[in-house]
Each structure stands twice: as C-alpha cells, then as structure tokens.
C-alpha cells in the first residue's frame, strides 16, 4: 500500500512540475506561418476588376475595434507569368498630438515572399529573422479574426457587399 501511494504521489508531482522544467517551445518557422497567411488571404479572392488579392488587418489589443490597434498590415497576393508573390506592408502608427483619434504613419516596413505550390520563400524583408516569426504569428491571428468577424456580420445580415459570402471565402 505504501509503495502504491509513493508511486501515485511521484506521478502527481511529475504532472505538477513538468511545465516548470519543460524546455521552451521552439520558435515558429516564419515561412510556415507566412504560408498559412497566404492560404487564409487567398480565400478572400479577387475583387471585380482587380488582378490581385488583398486584405487589410490591424494588429494590437485583443478586441474587434481596429481604432484601438496601432499596427496596420496590408497583404497583397499576385500571380504573374506563373510566379506567385505575396507582399506584406506593415505600417506602425502613432496617435496625433492634436487629435488622439487620428493616427499618423510613423514607420513602414515590407517583406516579399515567393510562393511555389506548398513552398514559400522570403525573397526580401525589412525585418530581422528573429522578428519575422512573432510578427507572422500576429498577422495570422489578425487575418483569422477578421475572417471570423466578416463571417459573423454576413451571417447576421448586417453587412452588405457586392460578393456573396459563398464567393468571398472560396473553398479549396
């Protein structure tokens, strides 16, 4: 009985303290997160009269109000001559001193990726390698949140758009 209790208590201690001694998770591969961003944004499809796919999101506080967020992200995907490129523009905003409701662009950075099937390669970036992983994760989260918000608006009937929701989010 004592041996069973000792084994059980050791097991409980191992479960409790395992997170303390566990090694931190390796940083995400920025290319895999960027490929997921590409796949998510590609579902938006092209607008009539345009030959590219685009999406705009904001990064910042966790809420649906983009006015509370200070980082604007524009994602553009275009295929020309069999080559698909995704260009991401990240603009860091700061509130105006005269009117705090207005935000001015403080700094803009870019990165360009080439997409070949399931492979994505970063061709050019204004960011260091260690900055790309966390940034890509934040952008991916913002894109998914925007898609969820748009789907919710269309489901409620409170959003009017020239595209139907069936056409807007294309399935593979």
> Encoding tokens for residue 8?
């059980």
Rounded CA gap, 2 and 131, in Å?
A: 53
pTM, 2 dp? 0.71
pLDDT: which is higher, 149 or 26: 149
User: What is the average pLDDT score of the chain?
Assistant: 79
pLDDT digits 0-9 by tens, 141-157: 999 988 888 877 666 55
More confident residue, 63 or 163: 63
* CA 84 – CA 41 distance, rounded (Å): 13
**Sheet of 103-116, strand order:** 53-60, 69-80, 83-95, 103-116, 119-125
112 has a pLDDT exceeding 60? yes
154-171 mean pLDDT? 49
Arithmetic mean of pLDDT, 90-102: 89
Inter-residue contact 45 to 163 (CB < 8 Å): yes
With b for 16 or more beta-carbon neighbours within 10 A and e for fewer, the 92-105 pattern comes to ebeeeeeeeeebee
- SS3 labels along 118-156: CEEEEEEECCCHHHHHHHHHHHHHHHHHHHHHHHHHHHH
Q: Which structure tokens are listed for 41? A: 């944004």
Residue 158 dihedral angles phi and psi, to the nearest 5°: -90, 0
């Amino acid at each position: 009985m004592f041996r069973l209790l000792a084994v059980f208590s050791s097991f409980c201690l191992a479960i409790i303290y395992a997170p303390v001694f566990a090694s931190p998770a390796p940083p995400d591969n920025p290319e895999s997160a960027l490929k997921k961003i590409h796949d998510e944004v590609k579902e938006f499809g092209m607008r009539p009269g345009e030959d590219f796919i685009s999406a705009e999101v904001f990064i910042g506080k966790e809420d649906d109000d983009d006015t509370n967020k200070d980082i604007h992200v524009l994602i553009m995907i275009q295929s020309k001559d069999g080559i698909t490129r995704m260009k991401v523009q990240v603009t860091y905003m700061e509130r105006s001193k005269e009117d705090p409701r207005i935000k001015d662009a403080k700094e803009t950075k870019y990165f360009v990726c080439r997409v070949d099937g399931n492979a994505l390669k970063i061709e050019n970036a204004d960011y260091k390698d260690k900055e790309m992983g966390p940034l890509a994760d934040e952008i991916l989260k913002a894109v998914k949140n925007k898609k969820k918000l748009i789907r919710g608006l269309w489901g409620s009937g409170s959003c009017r758009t020239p595209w139907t929701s069936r056409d807007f989010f294309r399935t593979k």
